[in-house]
Amino acid sequence: MTQNYHSKTNDKIIGPASGSPRDNRAQTPPSAVVDFVSHSITQTQRCGSQLAQHLVPGVIILLEGDLGAGKTTFTKGIASGMGVEGYVNSPTFTLVNEYEGRLPIYHLDCYRLESGQEALDFGIEEYLDAGGVTIIEWPERISEILPPDFIRVSLSYLTDTKRSLRLEPVGSKYIALMQEFKKSAFGSTL
């Protein structure tokens, strides 16, 4: 699956991926959005592991949340659900960690980047086009070059053990996938 990624220095600007007023994508149906409270690290990882069962080549997952919200914990769950063995950690200083599982996983941490151009300079397109699952922490740092379709996972700190999670497909590409995940994980698509 080929995606298009864009920089301000070439002719392919797509605009922000954040749902701004300039965003003309169709509204995500409520049946495709998952909102819940995780009561433990184990539950957060289990959610990631359940989602992993539905992931296909080319999926892009954007993880949003403050430091300590559970982004890497959620990623550990995805990796576990994809059959990754070994230690999974945040690539804060390396920018990218790669893991081999049912599909390759490319875990990017954009916290230290100043712009989408910096992401293009280090070769983000190679990961987005590689046919694996790309997970991006701190996507707001590179929003101007993100593709139009992705799964947004927003995590919020509630207490030492509780986190609020919201999983939302952005763009029509992932709506059916999220509805299937919601049904398998929670028994309902309502």
25-34 pLDDT per residue, tens: 557 878 789 9
Residue 30 resides in a domain: no
Measured CA distances, 120 to 1, 97, 114, 128, 142 (Å): 19, 17, 12, 11, 9
Confidence band, pLDDT 50/70/90 cuts, at residue 92: confident
Residue 32: its pLDDT value, please? 85
Alpha-helical (H) ranges within 53-107 are: 71-81
Confidence band, pLDDT 50/70/90 cuts, at residue 137: very high
Each residue of 2-12: pLDDT tens digit? 344 443 333 33
Confidence band, pLDDT 50/70/90 cuts, at residue 133: very high
Residue 127 resides in a domain: yes
Residue 3 resides in a domain: no
Within 8 A by CB and 6+ apart from 32, the residues are 168, 169, 174, 175, 176, 178, 179, 182
Residue 125 resides in a domain: yes
Into how many domains does the chain fold?
1
Residue 16: its pLDDT value, please? 44
Residue 29 resides in a domain: no
Residue 14 resides in a domain: no
Residue 173 resides in a domain: yes
In a 10 Å sphere around its CB, with 0-12 CB exposed, 13-18 middle and 19+ buried, how is residue 121 labelled?
Answer: exposed
Q: What domain range is 179 assigned to?
A: 35-186
Domain of 40, CATH number, reads: 3.40.50.300
Residue 12 resides in a domain: no
Q: Once rounded to an integer, what is the mean pLDDT over residues 43-58?
A: 95
Residue 44: its pLDDT value, please? 95
Residue 72: its pLDDT value, please? 93
In a 10 Å sphere around its CB, with 0-12 CB exposed, 13-18 middle and 19+ buried, how is residue 30 labelled?
Answer: exposed
